[in-house]
Amino acid sequence: MQKNSIDTKDLSLIVTPLLSWYDQHARILPWRENPLPYHVWVSEIMLQQTRVETVKPYFDRWIESLPTLATLAHAPEEQVLKLWEGLGYYNRARNMQKAAKMILDTYGGEVPASYDALLTLPGIGEYTAGAVASIAFGLPVPCVDGNVLRVLTRILTDQREIDQTSVKKYFTEEIRLIIPRERPGDFNQALMELGATVCMPNGLPKCELCPLHFMCKACLQDRVMEFPVKAKKKPRKKEYKTIFLILKEEKIAIRRREESGLLANLWEFPGTAGFLTLKEAKDQLNSWGLLAETIEELNPAKHIFTHIEWHMTGYLCKVTEFEEQNHDFEWVSKKDLTDHFAIPSAYKAFYMQLLSILK
DNA sequence: AAGTCGGGGTC
DNA sequence: GACCCAGACTT
């Protein structure tokens, strides 16, 4: 038996107090109002690496626009991405639409009530398969996310790095042994809810409010901030860009990003690598077949991704086109831009400057 | 197992 | 600044 493990009989002691706590403290959340499998699925995809408070308005708009799995499957991808605009990890939205089509084709339009079947769908990994299976269908399967790992490593003072697959696997099996057959979905949600609202990810946890503090080794030893142990992260790479807000007769230039990589296939304002001087910026416009009638500097901006930093300068340009080029600009009105094209938040600072200029 | 993929809240 | 969030997928 491993050093840090307590036996299953002990860990099973969390079940009753946890469910009882959840009965009193479960938050009222949009996806809990009418927990249809489609609703549970959409919420779990949106919640991947994303806070509850961030997801709420996105979930409401999504269900309003795409109320059923079939409407999602048949929706234009542009609409799906527009509904996802600003939420990040955009493959989640594309994969969800792919999965919706697969469910229509191979499961008769019903979200499959099987952990293994769910796991075959794009965008659904071990966590999400377990979450949907237990919450939407009442199947007794674990779902182990960052919240669960934090709660359990604290209860057990487990010092292993939670980034390791073996550790996640270990806790998944521990949960499988104790998950109550009567209320698996509530149990999984209770564990996550406790992690989100009491056994918090940042700052001091509210141990005095925790229904498990009586058996939490970290709390009893006053060592809660030592857990969970996580691997160190690599420093971010810095990239420098120049962004162009180009206006031609009340229209704005945007273009589609590459089909793979960062922000794949989304729309952006034209840009180039490096910080361009005013003269270099004019030359760049010329190379696009555009002549600057006016050009002025915009406020610089920075955007932090998980592994990259974008440092951006920008120019506002009013142009005429002196030569038809085969560049891939799309010239759109302000209304089309705001209504139909998904621009990632990395461009938000320039997007805001543009909207205030066009106001 | 390590890298990639977003964005924002919180300390 | 640094960390982390109801992770999945590719290499």
Give tens-digit pLDDT for A244-267: 999 999 999 999 999 999 999 999
Confirm whether any atom of chain C, the nucleic acid strand, is less than 7 Å from CB of A185: no
The Cα–Cα gap between A316 and A283 comes to: 14
| pLDDT on residue A1 | 39
- Active-site residues of A: which are they? 44
pLDDT at A18 over 80: yes
Round to a whole number and report the distance in Å from the CA of A321 to the C1' of B10. 47
For the CA of A151 and the C1' of C4, the distance in angstroms is 15
Contact between A257 and A263 (Cβ < 8 Å): yes
Contact A240, A274 (CB under 8 A): yes
Query: A327 pLDDT band (50/70/90 cuts)?
Result: confident
Burial A213-246 (b: 16+ CB within 10 A, else e): bebbbbbeeeebeebbeeeeeeeeeeeebbbbbb
Nucleotide with smallest C1' distance to residue A344 CA: B6
Q: How far is the CA of A201 from the C1' of C3 (A)?
A: 9
Instruction: Judge whether residue A197 contacts strand C, using its CB and a 7 Å cut-off.
Output: no
Q: What's residue A6's pLDDT? A: 53
Give pLDDT tens digits for A56-84: 999 999 999 999 999 999 999 999 999 99
The SS3 of residue A87 is coil
Mean pLDDT of A100-108: 97
Q: With a threshold of 0.85, does the pTM exceed it?
A: yes
DSSP code of residue A75: S
